[in-house]
Homo-oligomer: A and B are copies of this chain.
Amino acid sequence: MRILVDERGKKYLLKDEEFHTNFGFIKKKDIESCKVGDVLKTHLGREFRVIKPNVNDYIKLMERKCSIILPKDIGMVIAYTGLGSGQRVLEAGTGAGAAAIYFGNIVGPEGKVYSYEVREDFVDVARANISGFALENVFVKFQDIKGGIEEKDMDLVFLDLIKPWEVIEHLNDVLKIGGYVAAYTPYIEQFQILQRVLKKFNFSQLNTLECILRDIEVKNRGTRPKTRMVGHTGYLTFARRL
C-alpha cells in the first residue's frame, strides 16, 4: 500500500496499473517496483514521491458513499474512552468504514473490531476499504445490530446510528466492566433520548461533548483563525458500564 505525493502536496492512491495524471503517466512496471521514499517521474518529467499512507491519507483517498466522521470527532472517541492496543471494539453502522479503520489501526493485531451494517452497498465498500488498508482485525458484518449481538467483552461500543438508543439494552451483556459506549449524533434530540435510555439501563459517567475545531492561519500578512469553518458535525455521548 503506497501513495504518490506531487510537488504541491496532492496525494494519489496507487493501484497495480499505469498511473495517469494531467502531468503525464508513469508505467505499470515502475509502479510495481517502486519503494517508499522513491521519486517517480512521469513521461513529461513531473516528479511524484512514493510514501506509505497513514490512516488519514488513506481515508481521504478511499471510496466513500456517505459522509465520513472527521478526525476531530474520532480523536475525542479515542481519547475519552482510552482506546488502546489490544482492545476489542464493536461498531454500528459501518458506513464506508472510516471509524472501523481508525479503530483497527489502533487496536492492532491483538485487538478486534466488529462492525455491523444493514446496507449491503456500504458493506461492500467498507470491506474493500478495510482490506485496501491491509487490516486483518476488522470484521464487517452484514447484519442488523438490533437483531442481537454475539460479541462479548468489548472495551468500546461505538454507535453511529440514527437511533442509537435502540441498542442500549443489549450493551450490558456486550461490554466489559469499565467498558464504554460512545455515540455520534448530529442532532440534540438524539442525545437527549440516548441519555435517558442510558440512565434507564444503569450506565454511569454520562457525558455529551461537542468538539469545535479552529484552524489558525499563519501568513505573512498576519495570524488569525480561518474565515470559514465547520460549524457543527455531531455530538459525542459517552457512558460507561460500571
Contact = CB atoms under 8 A, between A and B. Distances in A.
Interface of A: 5, 9, 36-37, 49, 51-57, 71-72, 74-86, 102, 105-111, 155, 176-178, 180, 186-192, 195, 204-216, 218, 221-233, 235, 242
A213 B209 contact: yes
B209 A215 contact: yes
Given A75-B78, A230-B227, A214 B222 contact: no
Contacts of A71: 76, 79-80
25 contacts: A9-B205, A51-B178, A51-B242, A52-B177, A54-B155, A56-B81, A57-B82, A57-B178, A75-B75, A75-B78, A78-B78, A78-B79, A85-B110, A186-B222, A186-B224, A187-B222, A187-B224, A188-B222, A188-B224, A189-B223, A191-B216, A192-B218, A216-B235, A228-B228, A229-B232
